[in-house]
């Protein structure tokens, strides 16, 4: 069960981000209409989906063995 969750959790990140973006528009939003993201539900949903998509991609991890070794005889 844990392996299935770890394998497929990333497919829910974009829809979850989109839902969070729409919820932000709906509950917080922008009253004056001058805010470019918060005043339009389409933009806030798209922005939330993009942020959810960013969390899918792993960051690069530094491998300490791949770094060049420093000589003490410099």
Predicted confidence (pLDDT) per residue in 6-41, tens digit: 667 778 888 999 999 999 999 988 878 788 878 889
Domains of the chain by residue range:
13-54
Q: Indicate the average pLDDT of the chain.
A: 79
Tell me the C-alpha distance between 22 and 15, whole Å: 11
pLDDT of amino acid 37: 78
Model pTM? Answer: 0.67
Tell me the C-alpha distance between 11 and 16, whole Å: 9
Say which residue, 21 or 57, is predicted with more confidence.
21
């Amino acid at each position: 069960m844990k392996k299935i969750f770890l394998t497929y959790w990333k497919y829910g990140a974009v829809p979850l981000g989109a839902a969070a973006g729409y919820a932000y528009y709906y509950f917080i939003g922008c009253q004056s209409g001058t805010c470019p993201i918060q005043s339009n539900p389409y933009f806030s949903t798209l922005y939330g989906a993009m942020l959810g998509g960013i969390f899918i991609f792993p960051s690069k991890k530094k491998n300490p063995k791949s770094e060049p070794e420093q000589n003490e005889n410099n």
